[in-house]
Amino acid sequence: MSKPIVAIVGRPNVGKSTLFNQIGKKRVSIVEDFPGVTRDRIYMDAEWLDKNFTMIDTGGIELESQDTILSSMRVQAQLAIDEADVIIFLTDGRSGMTSADEEIARILRNTRKPVILTINKIDTQKQEMDIYEFYNLGLGDPIPVAAANSLNLGDLLDRVVEAFGEMDDAVEDPDEIHISVIGRPNVGKSSLVNAMLGQDRVIVSNMPGTTRDAIDTHFIKDDIKYTLIDTAGMRRKAKIDEPVERYSVIRSLRAVDRSDVVLMLISGPDGVTEQDKKIAGYAHESGKGCILVVNKWDLVEKDSKTPLRFTEDLRDELGFLQYAPVIYISALTRQRVHRMPELVKYVAEQQTMRIQTSVLNQLIMDALSVNPPPAHKGKQLKIYFMTQVDVKPPKFIIFVNDPELMHFSYLRFIENKLRESFGFEGTPLKLIVKGRK
Ligand code: GDP
Ligand code: GDP
């Protein structure tokens, strides 16, 4: 399972940073300390009952200066909904429920992610009566804590860790690698699907019952489970040789959304066309793993330099897919088709790779010393901290003094450093720049 993100949300002064730091004092692998980061850290890797997770204090995230407190809280709640797996909604039992709490609750009720309503500053048992009014927020049983004295934090963390379990269930077949095959008509999608599913080595287990299973094809290779998404039409088509049935674009886009790895087919004899660029663009933007599959290689007249030249052309034409590995195949003669599952598995692994925060920050420090960012209008970009917050695709947040000072070429430099150090082959990377107090 990938490392979950736990966000603390709540209005100012309820005790978010106190709670954050107290949880940090429990079994926490503190990130490498360096100037500017330690004092008020926003992200922290934490551990409870052998579960690792990353905590975010949304209150520490700097927003537009003209934002009112209320609109800042909306943004923070939305951020938590977008980025976190579990949300701790912290309120203050001493001041009681406020309209701002109701506003945050209204936003949080709209997410399907687990929200744990927590009432802070319940320092004595006598005060426990104070938590009852918070039932009104419609977010279930409130948990009383006293962050400052670490009271009841164990119960809270138990609930957090429990919520990771619920999260797991929501994921579709986590052990299976979902593959979609896309490309313009006639590039050989049906032929490739059938070649990959050649009877000699495939266990097809179409579970009856659901429509989704009827159109997906499962197979196992070297003990790894794969699912070819939405393949029924393709299989039928090639079998009864019915060229009229065009595999619809919308359908393949939906297939992309459900997949881990996308096989983007390109015709060897034709090279990259405008339509290919559009389809590849979607594969890229979807954030999925991607492999460029050059098909009909049997029809290409070639010498030893042909693949190299073809790859160069691909890199030129599909600039945004630099990270995608290229494989040359023939669905007809099955040349190299047997290598596809292993390559898919490799890319799927690259997508789910997580890099320790301390390692990332070492990388940033090295990058800064090799190539310091140029000053912009007399102001110098400072990078405080980088952390990975998600996988599939790997997503990083870089905290800087002023996001406006981050030039895209410097971001690309950081991305290249990440790829040099860790690979991340076949997967796009998301780098998000945030300002920080
Ligand atoms: P934030 O703005 O939500 O991050 O809140 P802080 O963590 O900065 O805390 C705001 C104030 O509440 C500080 O003065 C804390 O000392 C106080 N505080 C935090 N936790 C507790 C608690 O459990 N009990 C009491 N009585 N005060 C607390
Ligand atoms: P789709 O529309 O993308 O599903 O393409 P098809 O799989 O139906 O293939 C279109 C045509 O290209 C068919 O006549 C296939 O036999 C042919 N074809 C597919 N792959 C290859 C290949 O690797 N080499 C050659 N020579 N023909 C191929």
Residue 254 banded pLDDT, cuts 50, 70, 90: low
Phi, psi of 127 (to 5 degrees): -80, -5
Q: Which of 21-35, 187-201, 303-317 has the lowest mean pLDDT?
A: 21-35
For 36-56, the pLDDT digits (tens) are: 333 344 667 678 888 888 787
> Are 327 and 340 contacting, i.e. CB atoms less than 8 angstroms apart?
yes
Residue 28 banded pLDDT, cuts 50, 70, 90: very low
> For a substitution probing ligand 2, which of 181, 184, 186 has the most ligand atoms within 8 Å of its CB?
186
pLDDT at 246: 40
Higher per-residue confidence, 242 vs 418: 418
| Residue 422 clears pLDDT 70, i.e. is over it | yes
Annotated binding site for GTP: 10-17, 57-61, 120-123, 183-190, 230-234, 295-298
Residue 435 banded pLDDT, cuts 50, 70, 90: confident
What is the H or E stretch that residue 75 is in?
A: helix 69-83
For 74-105, the pLDDT digits (tens) are: 777 887 887 688 999 999 999 999 999 999 99
| Residue 278 clears pLDDT 70, i.e. is over it | yes
pLDDT at 424: 96
Beta-bridged to residue 320, according to DSSP, are: none
Percent of the chain beyond pLDDT 70?
81
Beta-bridged to residue 195, according to DSSP, are: none
Q: Tell me how far apart the alpha carbons of residues 434 and 420 are, in angstroms, rounded to a whole number.
A: 24
pLDDT at 235: 62
Alpha-carbon separation of residue 391 from 29, 216, 236, 349, 394 (angstroms): 20, 24, 35, 10, 4
Annotated binding site: 10-17, 57-61, 120-123, 183-190, 230-234, 295-298
Looking only at the bridges linking them, the beta strands covering 217-221 and 224-228 are antiparallel
> For a substitution probing ligand 1, which of 16, 18, 61 has the most ligand atoms within 8 Å of its CB?
18
- Which of 31-35, 119-123, 136-140, 385-389 ranks highest by mean pLDDT? 119-123
Ligand 1 center to 92 CA (angstroms): 9
Q: Which of 11-20, 215-224, 329-338, 351-360 has the lowest mean pLDDT?
A: 215-224
Q: Tell me how far apart the alpha carbons of residues 77 and 110 are, in angstroms, rounded to a whole number.
A: 11
The burial class, CB within 10 Å (0-12 / 13-18 / 19+), for 76 is: buried
Nearest to 116, CA basis, from 150, 85, 147: 85
For 175-233, the pLDDT digits (tens) are: 889 999 998 888 998 899 989 987 444 444 444 434 444 478 888 888 899 999 877 66
| Mean pLDDT over the full length of the chain | 82
User: Which ligand approaches the C-alpha of residue 119 most closely?
Assistant: 1
Ligand 2 center to 194 CA (angstroms): 11
pLDDT at 20: 87
Q: Structure pTM?
A: 0.58
Phi, psi of 16 (to 5 degrees): -60, -50
User: Which two tokens mark 179?
Assistant: 């593959």
> Are 289 and 260 contacting, i.e. CB atoms less than 8 angstroms apart?
yes
Q: Tell me how far apart the alpha carbons of residues 5 and 18 are, in angstroms, rounded to a whole number.
A: 18
Nearest to 151, CA basis, from 231, 93, 228, 89: 93
pLDDT at 209: 37
Map tokens 């998301």 to a residue.
Answer: 430
User: Which ligand approaches the C-alpha of residue 297 most closely?
Assistant: 2
pLDDT mean over 430-436: 86
Atom in ligand 2 nearest the alpha carbon of residue 193? 7
> For a substitution probing ligand 2, which of 191, 197, 297 has the most ligand atoms within 8 Å of its CB?
191
Sign of CA dihedral 272, 273, 274, 280: negative
Binding pocket residue ranges, ligand 1, CB within 6 Å: 10, 12-18, 59, 120-121, 123, 146-148
Residue 32 banded pLDDT, cuts 50, 70, 90: very low
| Residue 173 clears pLDDT 60, i.e. is over it | yes
Extended beta strands in 99-174, E state = 115-120, 143-144
Higher per-residue confidence, 97 vs 27: 97
| Residue 27 clears pLDDT 50, i.e. is over it | no
